Copies of this chain bind each other. A is one copy, B any other.
């Protein structure tokens, strides 16, 4: 099948390419009759403009890039869902890249997206990202940039986040309210901002309620996953026999811990209460069901794209744009593990 071009239509109709182009785009200076004729012919031939040529002329690709640490993760796949749905509504396509929590890969992927001339970039930072010169370059090239969930405070751009510190504070306070006196924390890696903030929220809640902070009660779950939760729980049982509550950085880690306790005959929440984070749908299905903090992934994706869209629009019109940080609400969810 041969490609149908404007030239093709013009020849068939015996008019100029210019007029065909204008007619299809409803320019006011083309007669109704010609427009009708052109549109009919275009439809008949199934004409589709060649985006490559359009891109070259308009300097827009109608495509945005998305870099995410891990696709296979309920929270992140929810974000993806929100983003691509919203993007499609606005006529944008989304290229998805996975950094695998690697700084090196992330940097390479930023370069890739720049060279592909995406109209905007959305990113959730890898755990191992410290240096942010690659993101500064995006800013320099004036490509609209938005960070979500795992952000850096060092870069001035729009952001969509939750208030991790407050949410963690509320989660820890809930444990205290239900009578816990000695509360451990399974935290994430040392670098990511959200891991830090959740830790700080936990610490602050203890201090505000007359419980002493004890660093030996803090365990690191590097990958914040199920196995990390298992290992941390086992270690905790070896180290301490007086802990009556745990606040974990993710539901996955909490579920790992619960499986250890179930196995050892330690009763949750009678012997030890557990509080997760993120409200993964499985959390309501396990025994006991997990108390947690609801983290709105789909919503975050949706809001993120909307914000990026505004910025892309402003940029196209050469208008100034004021980066905004949008903080989404979280919700404490009480179930049977506390």
Query: What are the interface flags for A81-100 relative to B under an 8 Å C-beta threshold, 1 for contact and 0 otherwise?
Result: 10011001000011111100
Query: Within the assembled complex, what's the spacing in Å between the Cα atoms of A140 and B2?
Result: 11
**If the complex has contacts A52-B55, A77-B72, are A287 and B287 also in contact, measured as CB distance less than 8 A?**
yes
Query: Within the assembled complex, what's the spacing in Å between the Cα atoms of A81 and B72?
Result: 7
**If the complex has contacts A55-B52, A95-B63, A112-B93, are A255 and B81 also in contact, measured as CB distance less than 8 A?**
no
In angstroms, how far is the closest chain B Cβ from the Cβ of A70? 8
CB <8 Å contact, B95 and A93 = yes
**If the complex has contacts A72-B74, A72-B81, A285-B256, are A56 and B52 also in contact, measured as CB distance less than 8 A?**
yes
Residues of B within 8 A of A50 (CB): 56, 117
Residues of B within 8 A of A96 (CB): 80, 84, 94-96
Query: Within the assembled complex, what's the spacing in Å between the Cα atoms of A61 and B63?
Result: 12
Residues of B within 8 A of A71 (CB): 77, 80-81, 84
CB <8 Å contact, A59 and B52 = yes
Query: Within the assembled complex, what's the spacing in Å between the Cα atoms of A96 and B55?
Result: 20
Query: Within the assembled complex, what's the spacing in Å between the Cα atoms of A97 and B66?
Result: 13
Query: What are the interface flags for A202-238 relative to B under an 8 Å C-beta threshold, 1 for contact and 0 otherwise?
Result: 0000000000000000000000001000000000000
Residues of B within 8 A of A88 (CB): 97, 109, 112
In angstroms, how far is the closest chain B Cβ from the Cβ of A177? 27
CB <8 Å contact, A78 and B72 = yes
- Chain A interface residues (CB < 8 Å from chain B): 1, 48-53, 55-56, 59, 61, 63, 71-74, 77-78, 80-81, 84-85, 88, 93-98, 109, 112, 114-117, 140-142, 226, 255-256, 259, 262, 281-282, 285-287
**If the complex has contacts A72-B74, A287-B262, A287-B287, are A51 and B84 also in contact, measured as CB distance less than 8 A?**
no
Residues of B within 8 A of A93 (CB): 95, 97, 112, 116
Query: Within the assembled complex, what's the spacing in Å between the Cα atoms of A259 and B287?
Result: 8
Query: Within the assembled complex, what's the spacing in Å between the Cα atoms of A124 and B116?
Result: 26
Instruction: Beyond the given A73-B77, A80-B96, please list 20 additional residue pairs across the A-B interface where CB-CB is below 8 A.
Output: A1-B142, A49-B115, A52-B117, A55-B55, A63-B95, A72-B74, A84-B96, A88-B97, A88-B112, A93-B95, A93-B116, A94-B96, A95-B95, A96-B96, A226-B285, A255-B285, A256-B285, A259-B285, A262-B287, A285-B286
Q: Which residue of B lies closest to A118 (CB)?
A: B93
Query: Within the assembled complex, what's the spacing in Å between the Cα atoms of A286 and B263?
Result: 11
In angstroms, how far is the closest chain B Cβ from the Cβ of A326? 22
A-B pairs with beta carbons under 8 Å apart, 30 shown: A1-B141, A48-B114, A49-B115, A50-B56, A51-B115, A51-B116, A52-B52, A52-B56, A52-B59, A53-B56, A56-B56, A63-B95, A63-B116, A72-B78, A81-B98, A84-B97, A85-B98, A88-B97, A88-B109, A93-B95, A93-B112, A95-B95, A226-B281, A226-B285, A256-B285, A259-B285, A262-B287, A285-B286, A286-B286, A287-B287
Query: Within the assembled complex, what's the spacing in Å between the Cα atoms of A122 and B290?
Result: 38
